[in-house]
Amino acid sequence: MYGGRVTDDFDRNVISCYLKEYLGEFIFDTNQKFLFAKTVHHEYIIPNEESFEKSLEFIDKIPLFTPPQVFGLHPNAEI
């Protein structure tokens, strides 16, 4: 992904393109859940909870230690 500073219109265009591609409206589609990542033990999705308490329960189910692959990193990043 983009790792520099936004200093001109070209940088802004690159960032805008990335945001449209990776953070578009499709993330909130109710017909198909959007998976950020999936591991053996957990699916990283956007919660669709109706209440604050249910949202807290969802957050509590997220593993405390997340493998580097969830963030798109190589497994050696854990070393």
Instruction: Decide which of 28 and 66 is more confident.
Output: 66
Q: Provide mean pLDDT across the span 55-76.
A: 87
Is the model's pLDDT at 54 over the cut of 70? yes
Stronger pLDDT, 59 or 31, i.e. the higher one: 59
Q: What pLDDT is attached to residue 3?
A: 65
CB–CB of 2/33 below 8 Å?
Answer: no
Q: What is the largest CA-CA distance in the chain?
A: 44
Q: What does the pLDDT read at residue 1?
A: 54
For residue 35, give the amino acid letter: L
